[in-house]
Structure 1
Amino acid sequence: MKLNNQLGITCLMVIAIVVFTLNNNRNNTYLRSPETAIMPVATATVDMTRPLPITSVQTCPRKSLPQIRQLKINKSQSGEDFVLLRWFNGLCQGTFIELGALDGIKFSNSYLFEFALQWQGLLVEITPPSFAALQKNRPNNVLVHAGVCEQRQTIHYYNSTANKTAVPGIVEFASQQFRQRWWPDLKADWSNSVEMECIPLQEIIEEHYLPAIKLKQHIHNGTSRVATATNEAVHFDFLSLDVEGAEDQVLRSIDFDKVSFGIVLLEADDYNELKNLAVRVFLESKGYLFLKSEQRSYWFVHRQFDQIYRHVLHQ
C-alpha cells in the first residue's frame, strides 16, 4: 500500500510538471500549424520590438481539394501547391515570390493561387524563351528577367541541349557533379554559355516590385496593406525557390529586416549536402522554423506565422 501511494504521488508530480511545461511553452515558444499541431520553434532569438509583418490576405470561401482538382489548375511538379493550400486555403489576395518561374505554368507553385484565390506576386526567370512565355501566361504579376545573386555581378547562364530534360542554371553556382550530369556539352572555358546580369533579390523587390505595386494602386486609386516604399517592410505569403543550386545566393541577397515570408520552400541541392545544411542554418537564424524535407524540397515557416495570420485564420 505504501509503495502504491508513493507511485501515485510520483505520477501526479510528473503530470503536474508536464502540464506546466506545455502551458509555458505554448504561450512562449511554440507555434500552431493550420492543423493545430504544436511544433517547437527554431532556436533563433526573436526581436520582440520589431513590428509584426503585415499580410495583404483576406478571407474568402474555402474550396475543398476535390473542387480545386476539378479546376485542373494545380501545376506543381510534386504537389507543392496543395501543401501550400493547407496553410492558405480560404485566404484570397495574397502575395508570393517565385524564382525559377519558367513559363509561369509548368511546375508552377503559384499558378493555383493566382487563378483560384486571386493572388499576385513577383515572378523571376532567367531563361530567355521561358521568360517570353511567362510574359504571355502571367501578365498580371511583376515579371523580371534576370539571375539572382548575393551581389550584383556578371554571371554565365547555360542551358544544355544534350539532355531531353532542360536544366538551365548559373555556371558559377553549379557543382562539378551537376555540370557533368546536366551540362556535358559545356566547354571548359564556358565560351558556349551566355553572360547575363545577376541582381540581388532585394534590389529586384525595391526597384521592380514595389514601384509596380505603387503604380497599380495609383491607377486603381485604391488602398492596400502592401508596402510601397523601399524603406518600408514588405511581407510575402510564400517564397518559392527553384534556381538549380543558387538557393543560398538568393537567400543571402535578401534584407530580412525589410522582407519577410509566411512560408519558404526551396529545392534541395542533390549534389551538396553542406550547402543544404548552410541554407537551413541561415534561415533558422532569421527566425524561420524548419518543417520538413519532402520531394527534394525543404519547407520553412515563419516562427510568428500564427500571429501574422491570426486575424484571418481564426475568424
Structure 2
Amino acid sequence: MISYSQNCEDVLLNRLFPENYRGFYVDVGACHPTVGSVTAHFYSCGWSGINVEPSCNFDLLSRERPRDINLQVAVSDDTGSADFYEFPGAPGLSTFGRDLAEFAIHKLGHHCHPRKVPVATLAEICRTHADRPIDFLSIDVEGHEREVLAGADFTQFRPRVIVIEATKPHTGDAAYDGWEPLVLSAGYLFAFFDGLNRFYVRNEDREWIARLAVPANVFDNFVSHELHATQVEAQSMKLQLETLATLRPISAALARRLSRVEASLPRVSDLLMRWRQRISSQTVAR
C-alpha cells in the first residue's frame, strides 16, 4: 500500500479491514486530499466519507474528492460561527486557538489570515450526512479536540475506530488529559499511541486492540507517498534514458548521412555553375 498520512496512521488502520472492503470515514481537519491525509489510501481503494475542512484547502478537497461529502465548516461543541486563524502558507497550522496562532506568527514566522467561519457539531454533521456506519473517525484540529468530542453523539454514531492527534501543536508533549475521558466514557478503549496520535476502538471491537499493538513496520508492506513519487519519477527518467539510448544509433546514422550530403554540396554547386555557364554561352551563340 501507499501511505499518505504523516505518521503512518493509515497503515495501522489498514490492518483492520479486509482488502476489498469499501468503508466509510469521517475526517475532521482533513486539510489536504493527499499530502498527510489519513483517508487518501482508503479513497483510492473505493472508500468514501465526510471531509471537514474550513481552510483554503477546501477547494482542492472538493476537486480531488468528488465521491466524498466535503464540508467547509468548523466543528465544535455548539453551532454558530467562530474566529479561525488561517495560515495559507502552512494550512496544517490553522487553528481556533489565539495563543497557538500567536506562536505560529511570532515564533514560526507565518502569515495569518483570521476570518469568521461557520461552526457545526459533529453530531449534527453525522445526522445530516452519515447515512451508513462509520468505520473510523480521524480528528486533527490543533488543540480543539475537546470541543469536537463534546459535540459528538457516540450513542447514535459509533465509529469503530477513533484516531485523535494527542500532542500539543508544534511539540511532542502529551495533550490528551482534557479530552480522553469523553472518549472512554462513550464506550471506547485505548488501543495504541504512535507518538503523535492515540487510537481507540469500540468496546464491541475490543479484539482489534491486538492488531494495533505494534507500530507500522516492514510486515505491513507499505511505502510512503513521498518515496513512491520518487520511485515513479526515477522510473520515468529511466525510460527516457532508454529511449535516448535507442535513438542514439539512429541519430549517429543520420549524422553520417548529413555529413556525406554536406561533403557533396561543393561538387553539386560546381556542377550547377558549369550548367549555368553552358546554358549562358549557348544562349549568346544563338
| Short-chain TM bin | 0.5 to 0.7
**Are 1:150 and 2:150 matched, yes or no?**
no
Residue of structure 1 aligned with 2:65, choices 138, 152, 157: 138
Distance 1:204 1:254 in 2: 9
Whether the 8 Å contact between 1:123 and 1:142 is mirrored in structure 2 is yes
TM-score normalised over the length of structure 2: 0.64
Residue of structure 2 aligned with 1:280, choices 180, 189, 210: 180
Give secondary structure in 2 for the equivalent of 1:87. coil
1:82-120 CA-to-partner distances (Å, cap 9, x unmatched) read 01111124351111101111131111111111212x211
Whether the 8 Å contact between 2:57 and 2:91 is mirrored in structure 1 is no
Distance 2:207 2:191 in 1: 17
**Aligned counterpart, 1:179:** 101
User: Stretches of 4+ moved more than 2 A in 1?
Assistant: 164-171, 178-181, 271-275
**Aligned counterpart, 2:140:** 242
Distance 2:90 2:121 in 1: 28
Deviates further, 247-256 or 263-272 = 263-272
Give secondary structure in 2 for the equivalent of 1:206. helix
Query: In the superposition, relative to structure 1, how do residues 275 and 153 fare at CA in structure 2: closer, same or farther (>3 Å)?
Result: farther
Query: In the superposition, relative to structure 1, how do residues 289 and 200 fare at CA in structure 2: closer, same or farther (>3 Å)?
Result: same
Whether the 8 Å contact between 1:157 and 1:195 is mirrored in structure 2 is yes
**Are 1:206 and 2:127 matched, yes or no?**
yes
Give secondary structure in 1 for the equivalent of 2:3. coil
**Are 1:88 and 2:9 matched, yes or no?**
no
Whether the 8 Å contact between 1:159 and 1:183 is mirrored in structure 2 is no
Distance 1:182 1:295 in 2: 22
1:244-273 CA-to-partner distances (Å, cap 9, x unmatched) read 111111111111121001111011141697
Whether the 8 Å contact between 2:25 and 2:134 is mirrored in structure 1 is yes
Deviation of 1:275 (Å) = 5.3
1:160-188 CA-to-partner distances (Å, cap 9, x unmatched) read 36xx64444343xx263x23321339xxx
**Aligned counterpart, 2:35:** 106
Deviation of 1:280 (Å) = 1.5
Distance 1:237 1:108 in 2: 16
Kindly report the root-mean-square deviation, in angstroms, between the aligned alpha carbons of the 2 structures: 2.7
Give the aligned residue type for 2:114: S
TM-score normalised over the length of structure 1: 0.59
Q: Which has the larger radius of gyration?
A: 2
Deviation of 1:274 (Å) = 8.5
Once the two structures are superposed, the pairs formed by residues 27-106 of structure 1 within 5 Å of their partners are 68=1, 73-90=2-19, 92-106=21-35
Distance 1:246 1:147 in 2: 10
Whether the 8 Å contact between 1:158 and 1:193 is mirrored in structure 2 is yes
**Aligned counterpart, 2:156:** 258
Larger helix percent: 2
Give the aligned residue type for 1:157: F
Runs of 5+ consecutive residues of structure 2 not aligned to the other structure: 209-286
Once the two structures are superposed, the pairs formed by residues 158-173 of structure 1 within 5 Å of their partners are 158-160=85-87, 165-171=90-96
Give secondary structure in 1 for the equivalent of 2:15. helix
**Are 1:197 and 2:118 matched, yes or no?**
yes
Whether the 8 Å contact between 1:264 and 1:301 is mirrored in structure 2 is yes
Query: In the superposition, relative to structure 1, how do residues 307 and 81 fare at CA in structure 2: closer, same or farther (>3 Å)?
Result: closer
Give the aligned residue type for 2:48: Q
Give the aligned residue type for 2:168: D
Whether the 8 Å contact between 1:121 and 1:141 is mirrored in structure 2 is yes
Deviates further, 237-246 or 87-96 = 87-96
**Percent identity between the two aligned chains:** 23
Deviation of 1:276 (Å) = 1.0
Whether the 8 Å contact between 1:76 and 1:107 is mirrored in structure 2 is yes
Distance 2:74 2:94 in 1: 9
Query: In the superposition, relative to structure 1, how do residues 96 and 192 fare at CA in structure 2: closer, same or farther (>3 Å)?
Result: closer
Give the aligned residue type for 1:261: P
Give the aligned residue type for 2:53: E
Whether the 8 Å contact between 2:95 and 2:101 is mirrored in structure 1 is no
**Aligned counterpart, 1:229:** none
Give secondary structure in 2 for the equivalent of 1:286. coil
Distance 1:175 1:285 in 2: 29
**Aligned counterpart, 1:122:** 50
Whether the 8 Å contact between 1:99 and 1:242 is mirrored in structure 2 is yes
Give secondary structure in 2 for the equivalent of 1:276. coil
